[in-house]
Chain A
């Protein structure tokens, strides 16, 4: 092994290392700053902050549970809607679409990503929510009204509306990344499957999707990261009510929304620190969800190689 002799190589190595470390330092600094900013609240409320549901700036009682719940549920709804749509779109774009349709469709999807959050939010309250209230929601209620998830009165602004608007926002990123991943599947894979007499669907399923599974999962995680932190558009349509309700027609609240809503007018120290702690919790939830996803990915890949070994 020859030692890197050129000064340029060394310098480049150090430079890239420094860049990579800057990201790590940035994350640590953010976490530390949030921790420092919320120390009073952390001391005062302890674990109760995570397990209680009262958010009362007047009596200065602060509990984050409904916000944690709202963040997780709205993101989950968003993933349930966006993942099948995005992956199907990506499959269509790489495997099936005629060339003349590809480029316009790709541009359109990328344009969706460029719409500012607040514009989407305003469109949400003036167009999407009234439409949801008048057509799809009553339909869902007729079909699934017997379950607790779709019961109760329909106002339009709701956890479900929040999830849908997040789905619209994360659709472009999951689609774009998935498309790149599917494109990187070697043609050899497809040709081999065709050679074995597979139909088009079988080729897509076995040779392409299964091969790209790990990458697609990564695309979903990227979307999830965006979903957890999405703020403005959700705030406009979710109803901003800190409650934990089974019905998705009821309004909810997310961690990011409460910070956006209340930070500017928070005057007392403990109130401000509680909002900082909400930021810390959001930071923690995001890291935790990502860690769980990494673990899932790991078990997924080990089982695949295990089944391969058996075969």
Chain B
């Protein structure tokens, strides 16, 4: 009998707990969907923000940039997220004006697998040549000229690229389109393209796996991924002729000097700064300028402001490059323009 009693009181406790959490979930729920690349920092932001404002909860589904754009256009979410800016065609489909809010940036690195894993240097010409299939061997004069101290083998370069559509590929092809007219006309910029050469690996792990397992392989992965997996990666010559090591600082440096238009649909590859690493890109949140639900709209605006002011400080710990201050100010001004 006492046992039954105990069970009963426990069940009651459980019900009460449920009831409480039900009132908790009666708080405002803000839904978002999109890019996978910034997912780790966004979830950190949502966690931290719950302490700042316990009255809102976020639900973010990292389904990919394509899905993020589609869902914000269909208005099934309160904000979208994308690793590439939306095209004019897609923007025209929106029922109202959509704002691009840049949050953080990341870099693509040239990773490779050579005996002894020497530190290599590349410039725009060699990278484009390799990915167009013109430079086929490691001891090609163009590569050896940049790396006189390294003895490069007479071995075929096995080019590895992403097979899945990704923001990483968008940054990579955006860079190649800027520096190589041939790439621009033959291939172009997109989250996936018609590759002139190479093997496709699925995801960062797929590309990294191929590179690590294949002697003579060369490919691109996210900087974070290369650091965490201790893969060797190259310095790249930027647009002012300096060889720059990809780091969070050199990525933020690129953001500081990139030409950023007022709609924030910018590309930061091949930025002109002396310290700027040339192959990097930002990621964006997508929100409507005219919010349909004023109460929700206010909460979204508050969150966005917090993210740009305070959230940016958490970026480096999670290996993302934060926005430089001049860009932060411009973004904050834009957030103020969101209407309820």
Give A residues with C-beta under 8 Å from B.
54-59, 122, 125-126, 129-130, 133, 153, 155-157, 235-236, 239-241, 251, 253, 257, 260-268, 272
Contact = CB atoms under 8 A, between A and B. Distances in A.
B194 A56 contact: yes
A125 B208 CA distance: 10
A58 B189 contact: yes
Contact of A57 (B65, B70, B194, B206): B194
Contacts of B189: 58
B90 interface: yes
The secondary structure that dominates the B interface is loop
A155 B158 contact: yes
A242 to B, nearest CB: 8
Contacts of A59: 188, 194
A214 to B, nearest CB: 39
Contacts of B273: none
B164 A261 contact: yes
Nearest to B193: A58
21 contacts: A122-B205, A122-B209, A133-B214, A155-B199, A156-B214, A157-B201, A157-B210, A235-B206, A236-B202, A241-B195, A241-B199, A264-B63, A265-B65, A265-B66, A265-B164, A265-B166, A265-B192, A266-B191, A268-B87, A268-B89, A268-B90
Contacts of A153: 156
B211 to A, nearest CB: 11
Given A155-B158, A262-B165, A267 B69 contact: yes
Contacts of A251: 199-200
B67 interface: yes
Contacts of A235: 163, 202, 206
B190 interface: yes
A265 B192 CA distance: 8
Contacts of B213: 125-126, 129-130, 133, 156
A267 B65 contact: yes
B64 interface: yes
A205 B76 CA distance: 62
Contacts of B86: 267
Given A239-B200, A261-B164, A267 B156 contact: no
A267 B202 contact: no
Contacts of A267: 65-66, 69-70, 84, 86-87, 90, 191
B198 interface: yes
B30 interface: no
Given A130-B213, A267-B66, A54 B206 contact: no
